[in-house]
Amino acid sequence: MKTKAQDIMRYAHWATVGLLTLGLWVSAMAAEFVVRDIRIEGLRRISAGTIFNYLPVKVGDYFDESQSGSAIRTLFKTGFFKDVRIERDGDVLVVHVVERPSIDSITFEGNENLETEKLLDSLQQIGFAKGEVFNRSSYAQVEQELRRAYFAQGKYAVRIKSTVTPLERNRVAVNFDISEGRVATIKKINVVGNSVFDDDELTDLFQLSTTGWWAFLTKRDQYSKPRLAADLETLRSYYLDRGYINFRIDSTQVSISPDKQDVYITINVTEGDRFRVSSVDIIGDLVVAPQELTGLVVLRQGDVFSRKKVTESTTALATRLGQEGYSFANVNAVPDIDNENRQVKVSFFVDPGKRVYVRRITFKGNAKTRDEVLRREMRQLEGAWIDTSKVERSKTRLERLGFFDAVNVETPAVPGTQDQVDVEITVEERSSGNLLAGIGYSQTQGFIFNSEIAQENFLGTGNRVSVTFNNSDVNRAFGLGFTNPYFTDDGVSLGFEADYRETDAADANLSRYTLDEIQGAFNFGIPITEFDFIDLGVRVEHTRFSPGSNASNEIVAFDRSVDGEFLAFLGTASFARDTRNRRILPDKGSVTRLSGEVAVPGGDITYFKTELYHQQFVSLLDDYTLILEGEIGYGDGYGDTDSLPLTDNFFAGGIRSVRGFKANTLGPRDSLNEPFGGNFKMVGSAEIVLPVPFLSDIKQFRLTGFFDIGNVYGDNQDFDLGDLRYSTGLGAIYLSPLGALTFSWGVPLKTRGGDETESFQFTFGTSF
């Protein structure tokens, strides 16, 4: 009986379970339905299409309550809504939403140090901007971002109070009331653990510095995390370049005083021992002669280890391989450190990869300039292996044309190949046609009016056509010129010019006479190498000479010798070598020019003049450049002409010669004690380009400290070093939109009785 009862109970249990399961299944079947339509309720600003894009349910889908949670979470993730509900109305799925408000305006009060536009830009980067959805959950990031912007300016005591004001049509206005506080300055920088170099020597390397009188110019006393990171790398390089290969920075602490006005920086270092180079090897696939590669390595056995020299050697080796077409070559320096003997073995591992060839050279952006004008400047050729030095030289030649504001070169690999690249050159053309008119003032020439109609790139051919007119107290000139830089395919240039000039020498601090000159000239330019050029030309000059009132004996005598006018036929020749990186305000390379002209028989006078000029740019430090410049000139008459005509004499003194002395006043003087010029000139200068912290990014400005030396000698004078004049001072050049401004403040160091000095000199509006 007991067993039978148990069986009955078991059957009853399973029957109950079955009925419950059946009921749940029937209930589930009843809850699932086919969505015949979707209705959105509560939208005010956001479109229904946005909902449909995010909603994971479409018309025609089966839908039940288990899918509601997923759909609601998906809509919440958009950030557009603060409440979402999903209901069923028959076969219609109803989505109820409550939109978050939009940001109608963002205003700031009290922000004096940071402009409103900069603050708005910083907030926009985190998605907080006018028109965006206002989200309370992300609102906390806003004040943090504003504080970060002020911390970057060194204002750690900043206080920010924000107010959110609801507006009609589900909008809000956000206002930030800011109390900026004073900029926190660096009170102390400590380096801990150093014994080889003292604190002052190390901290002098840093961009960051403690407060000083110059702080308002450089802001070096304001803490900046990026600046500190740069200083730490400078410190690391300083040690590694001096053999301390195991040097490390253990930690860096930056602390702020309780009043948040002073910053203290502590840098903990471990110097380690100084290492020397035990050997230098070059290994790998040496596609260039090992002896040549060894000569490129500036690190030698026995030297103190220097990471800078390792980097220079690696770059030199990769550049040399690039010249042979291995533009993707890898050169890795592998140091093998012997801590016991404090030595390091440096191995340069060379993997040239495959030689790469240029498939195609293309130009972009040259809407006016013809392709051939650009292509003829290219030193890299299609079909040849790529030579990185030739690619760089091609870029330099294009920049020196003066037709483009920017020249960018890319060498992308040809898809599907491993040994081909294209050279793609993109240029930004500048206006090559100019109608210029200007007025300026020069201490030498007085007020100047000049105008020029010039087309540097006439009809996109690269030819230059110009018509000029200049007027000043000294000169009035008219000119016409034409130059074809590629008269032949080999780069031989052809040019001609015609000029008329009236000169009043007395207004230029010279003797009393006037000139009326007419000249015409042809010249040919012949390239010898990539950097060397020869220029040959002929010129015809007709000059009308008129002594001024109460002219000196020398002027009267010359006037009688030429009977008031003379004709000269001249042959000109020059050789130039120019490796400068730019034509205007260069800072690398040099230029050497030897020129001469001869007035040949057939004219009224015969004479010769020759000049040698050299300018060298030497990089001293990262921010300093030494400029060495010198010029020597000599001339004399021959045949029936006893001496160099006074109209062709050399002069010195002034802003473009020996500064600190009045223009053209050095050298021989006539019977009235007025500058007369001479037939031999020697001038020179040494200048150091000085960095100007608050103008370091302005490439049109240059400040120099100079030392000038020079003088002019006449026919009856022997060259004497004791007659040279010296001066020193500061010079500045600014290439303004209105013309070049040149200033100098010179202090003569050696003078003689009768010398005319002039400390402050300037020119404005004349060509540079």
Q: Are residues 613 and 644 in the same domain?
A: yes
Write out the DSSP string of 506-544.
GGGTS-SEEEEEEEEEEEEEEE-SSSEEEEEEEEEEEEE
Q: Are residues 560 and 671 in the same domain?
A: yes
Q: Are residues 559 and 611 in the same domain?
A: yes
435 in helix, strand or coil? strand
Q: Are residues 107 and 224 in the same domain?
A: no
Q: Are residues 423 and 516 in the same domain?
A: no
Type of residue at 768: F
**Cα 731 to Cα 184, 492, 564, 577, 684, distances in angstroms:** 36, 38, 41, 26, 15
**Which pLDDT score, from 0 to 100, does residue 239 have?**
94
**Cα 371 to Cα 151, 192, 426, 432, 762, distances in angstroms:** 52, 61, 12, 16, 42
Q: Are residues 242 and 316 in the same domain?
A: no
**36 vs 89: CA distance, rounded Å:** 10
Q: Are residues 504 and 366 in the same domain?
A: no
What's the pLDDT band for 438 if we cut at 50, 70, 90? very low
End residue of a domain, out of 429, 454, 469 = 429
503 in helix, strand or coil? strand
How many structural domains are present in the chain? 7
- Between vectors from CA 554 to CA 551 and to CA 555, what angle results, nearest 5°? 45
Q: CB pairs under 8 A, 24+ apart, for 256-259?
A: 256/156, 256/184, 257/187, 259/157
What's the pLDDT band for 24 if we cut at 50, 70, 90? very low
Mean of per-residue pLDDT scores for the chain:
84
Residues contacting residue 716 through CB under 8 Å, at least 6 positions apart: none
Phi, psi of 294 (to 5 degrees): -60, -35
**438 vs 514: CA distance, rounded Å:** 25
End residue of a domain, out of 429, 444, 477 = 429
**524 vs 537: CA distance, rounded Å:** 6
Q: Which residue has 């349910």 as its token pair?
A: 57
Q: Are residues 731 and 593 in the same domain?
A: yes
* Structure confidence by residue, pLDDT tens digits, 272-316: 999 999 999 999 988 889 899 999 999 999 999 999 999 999 999
Q: Are residues 265 and 397 in the same domain?
A: no
Phi, psi of 103 (to 5 degrees): -85, 115
Type of residue at 50: T
End residue of a domain, out of 392, 409, 429 = 429
CATH code where residue 313 lies: 3.10.20.310
Please state the rounded mean pLDDT for residues 381-392.
90
* Structure confidence by residue, pLDDT tens digits, 511-542: 889 999 999 999 999 999 989 999 999 999 99
pTM above 0.75, yes or no: no
Helix and strand element counts for the chain (H, E): 13, 33
**Cα 581 to Cα 399, 529, 531, 673, distances in angstroms:** 9, 16, 11, 44
Where do the H-state alpha helices sit in 161-284?
199-203, 215-218, 225-240
**Which pLDDT score, from 0 to 100, does residue 304 have?**
93
Q: Are residues 404 and 439 in the same domain?
A: no
Where do the H-state alpha helices sit in 152-214?
199-203
- pLDDT tops 90 at residue 94: no
- How many whole angstroms from its chain centre is CA 45? 48
* Structure confidence by residue, pLDDT tens digits, 409-433: 999 999 988 889 999 999 988 765 5
Q: Which two tokens stand for residue 528?
A: 């010898």
* Structure confidence by residue, pLDDT tens digits, 545-556: 999 888 899 999
Q: Are residues 559 and 639 in the same domain?
A: yes
Q: Are residues 517 and 587 in the same domain?
A: yes
- Between vectors from CA 236 to CA 273 and to CA 206, what angle results, nearest 5°? 130
**Cα 701 to Cα 469, 694, 743, distances in angstroms:** 28, 11, 11
* Burial (Cβ within 10 Å: 0-12, 13-18, ≥19) of residue 445: buried
Give the domain extent around 207.
Answer: 185-270
